[in-house]
Amino acid sequence: MNKFSKSLILFLNIVLPLIIGKLVYFIFTLTQSLPIQLKFYLPDAFWYYSFTFSILILQYFSLLNFSVFIFFLFSPIIIEFTQLFHFFPGTFDKVDIIVYYLSGFIAYKTFNYNKKYI
């Protein structure tokens, strides 16, 4: 696989989800015609997908030790629970945890499929 293809995989799985998530949030903010759940959960899904894919790449190339990898992988979920006990600003939401889990799982499966090309 050439360098362009590797860069394309990284772009499609890290940069593009962030752009799409931001566009979804921006468009839903302007129109306000779609359910508010999509305004918040869909961008979170794209963000966590990108985050998880990035962390998996760093771990794959041994740029993170395992404990740091686990910390980064679960940090959004940990932050969500700290909101439940008011240690971190924000509102605890069980659906956020489900969204993080699902998007992280999809990122994991996508990474495993693509790692032979990276």
Q: What is the pLDDT of residues 32-71, one digit of tens each?
A: 777 777 788 999 999 999 999 999 999 999 888 888 889 9
Question: Is the Cβ–Cβ distance between 46 and 21 less than 8 Å?
Answer: yes
Q: Compute the distance between CA of residue 80 and CA of residue 90 in angstroms, rounded to an integer.
A: 8
Q: Compute the distance between CA of residue 50 and CA of residue 42 in angstroms, rounded to an integer.
A: 13
User: What one-character-per-residue DSSP string does 45-58 give?
Assistant: HHHHHHHHHHHHHH
pTM attached to this predicted model: 0.89
Q: Compute the distance between CA of residue 20 and CA of residue 81 in angstroms, rounded to an integer.
A: 26
